[in-house]
Structure 1
Amino acid sequence: MLTRRGAYAWGILTISVALAACGAQDRIAGQAFGPALPAPPVASTAPATVSTTPASPPPATSSSAPPATTPKPAAPAGRVVVLDPGHNGGNAANPAAINKSVPAGRGKTKACNTTGTATDAGYAEHAFTWDTANRVREILAGRGVRVVLTRPNDSGVGPCVDQRAAIGNRENAAAVVSIHADGSTAEGAHGFHVAYSAPALNAAQGEPSQRLARTVRDRMVAAGLATSTYIGSNGLSPRDDLAGLNLSERPAVLVECGNMRDADEAARLSSPDGRQRYAAAIAEGILAYLG
């Protein structure tokens, strides 16, 4: 038979163990699993320690501790952006695959893809576009935008230009931005330009795409980047021959960030600081467009 003092001690121990078990359940229930792309992991906080030797009897009732972590809110509806890093690192070694004909819109066909250009020092356009697109992705992800890339790495082949357009359509993207660099050999050719499909083939290619082009152009100018001296006007270039734009059913533009054959721009395009500058300007343009 328990004495009164023994019963009291036994009650304290029972309540303390129950509280400790409850705390363990709270820690498991409080784990949050954010989206794999692009939200960063949420740090956990240590649960409060429950004493097993209280100085006085615990209250008759107690509330459970709050969850250790709180899930981050999802990106606002409609804020899905597709980034299309031009070309791919494996294209040059697979000519049969990238030379096959695919639909290009407006009743035409063109090659699946191309190898892209390079600086005179050998820095490849596909490497520039991959690195810059991922820098844009990181900025947008930090602002709550879900980002989809049209290719998973810089060592594969393709995808073909029609497939790249299909990705933006399938994702119902709020904006599609294809990132490139040019390779003009014209004397003095330098500067960026933003292309959009014209004449428009659907409503998304009209005012929405033109506004996206203007907004990205404006942020790039604000970043101190010069507009093209050899194509388009004031940094804008309406095009009817770019399959990724012709086949898009979402607001879409293609950014030629600069001329890789111009010595000054080649140096900027080849440097991490330069690529970050381009990425920041493009990301700010996308964010301004999304509002």
Structure 2
Amino acid sequence: MSYVGPDFDPHQPRRSRRPRALTVAAAALVPGALLGWMVYEAVGGPGDAAARPSAAESSSTPTTSSTNDDKPPGPTPTADSTSASVSGSGSLRGKVVVIDPGHNPNNFQHTAEINRKVNIGTNWKECDTTGTSTNDGYTEAQFTLDVAHRTRTLLEKQGATVEFTQDGDRPWGPCIDERAEIGNKAKADAVVSIHADGAGTGQRGFHVILPAKVNEGAADTGPIVTPSRDLGERIAGSFVRATSSTPSNYVGDGTGLVTRKDLGGLNLSTVPKVFIECGNMRDSKDAAMLASDAWRQRAAQGISEGIVSFLRG
């Protein structure tokens, strides 16, 4: 989803990946939740995650990947932040989770409506767009709904109340401001917006987008910055374990975490919220993963485990 469109700007030039020798050294020093991946990368690389067993807001013609205008200076996810697994029926009773599947699959039939601009607090952006797709035509909207359904099933088994911002059950939208409002009105304990990226070939991996501290117009993210980072770190760590995916090699400096202040879905939220870009649909290797039924189940497992860990505290 991260290309020119609502809440997105063209990304900065791609950074070179660190040499593997540095990765090995970092693995000895960084006690993050991505440590396991770093060691794995050092000894052999990720390969095609779709073939491995589980270890645990935009335009219809995507051409650029996401801007990282606020690199996350904070800590990488910690090992403790990913230790909880999804188990124990009823353990989330009383908790409310809102899942925001990025892009309504019917948006392409309602271009006038989704191009209408809405106030995101700090700026005006398009209501929504169609999302991206793989070269074979598998759409981001299809992907996000599928993973959202799987995630809901896992969370409901834990007793959580799960609400969607849309389920392909409305002609278009909702707009990005309404998406935020749905989570706010639900007084959600956690909100996760599920997406897949539309970056260039060779740009691979997932990243979790965290809200920056913004206090302008209708936006005041101060109260949610810290809990949202906690939520995002836990999801990033568990996503690595569940899918064996690697953190993005084009944003986030290898942490899998990106902080942004230009997203209405985050700026307007009053409850803890993050976005996750599960992979890059425009890269053939990532696309193969995203189109895999088994991999999507593991993605849902990783997202749900991170949410469970966050809600249990």
TM-score where L is the length of structure 2: 0.67
Q: Give, in angstroms, the shift of residue 168 of structure 1.
A: 0.3
Q: Give me the whole-angstrom Cα distance separating, in 2, the residues matched to 1:284 and 1:74.
A: 12
Unaligned runs of 5+ in 2: 1-88, 215-219
Partner of 1:218: 237
Tell which structure's C-alpha radius of gyration is larger: 1
Partner of 1:134: 149
Q: Give, in angstroms, the shift of residue 80 of structure 1.
A: 0.2
* Aligned residue identity for 2:211: S
C-alpha contact (below 8 Å) 1:196/1:205 kept by paired residues: no
Q: Deviations over 1:259-281 (max 9, x none)?
A: 00111110111121111111110
Partner of 1:206: 225
C-alpha contact (below 8 Å) 1:84/1:178 kept by paired residues: yes
Q: Give me the whole-angstrom Cα distance separating, in 1, the residues matched to 2:247 and 2:169.
A: 28
C-alpha contact (below 8 Å) 1:168/1:176 kept by paired residues: yes
Q: 2:259 aligns with which of 212, 216, 238?
A: 238
Q: Give me the whole-angstrom Cα distance separating, in 1, the residues matched to 2:302 and 2:223.
A: 23
CA RMSD, Structure 1 to Structure 2 (Å): 1.7
SS of residue in 2 equivalent to 1:253: strand
C-alpha contact (below 8 Å) 1:90/1:154 kept by paired residues: no
Q: Give me the whole-angstrom Cα distance separating, in 2, the residues matched to 1:156 and 1:277.
A: 30
C-alpha contact (below 8 Å) 1:126/1:154 kept by paired residues: no
- Give the total of aligned pairs: 217
Give the 5 Å matches for 1:249-268: 249-268=270-289
Partner of 2:76: none
Runs of 4+ in 1 over 4 A off after TM superposition: 72-75
Partner of 1:113: 128
Change (3 A) 1:74 1:206: closer
Partner of 2:53: none
Unaligned runs of 5+ in 1: 1-71
- Answering whether residue 204 of structure 2 is matched by residue 190 of structure 1, we say yes
SS of residue in 1 equivalent to 2:295: helix
* Aligned residue identity for 1:76: R
Partner of 1:42: none
* Aligned residue identity for 2:245: L
Partner of 2:173: 158
Q: Give me the whole-angstrom Cα distance separating, in 2, the residues matched to 1:257 and 1:73.
A: 27
Q: Deviations over 1:79-125 (max 9, x none)?
A: 1000000001110111100000001222x010000100000000000
- Answering whether residue 96 of structure 2 is matched by residue 76 of structure 1, we say no
SS of residue in 1 equivalent to 2:277: strand
Q: Give, in angstroms, the shift of residue 220 of structure 1.
A: 0.9
Q: Give, in angstroms, the shift of residue 155 of structure 1.
A: 6.4
Partner of 2:20: none
Q: Give, in angstroms, the shift of residue 154 of structure 1.
A: 5.9
SS of residue in 2 equivalent to 1:135: helix
Q: Give me the whole-angstrom Cα distance separating, in 2, the residues matched to 1:274 and 1:73.
A: 26
C-alpha contact (below 8 Å) 1:89/1:154 kept by paired residues: no
Q: More relative contact order in 1 or in 2 (CA 8 Å, sep 6+)?
A: 2
Change (3 A) 1:154 1:262: farther
C-alpha contact (below 8 Å) 2:213/2:221 kept by paired residues: no
Q: Give, in angstroms, the shift of residue 73 of structure 1.
A: 7.5
Q: Give me the whole-angstrom Cα distance separating, in 1, the residues matched to 2:171 and 2:150.
A: 20
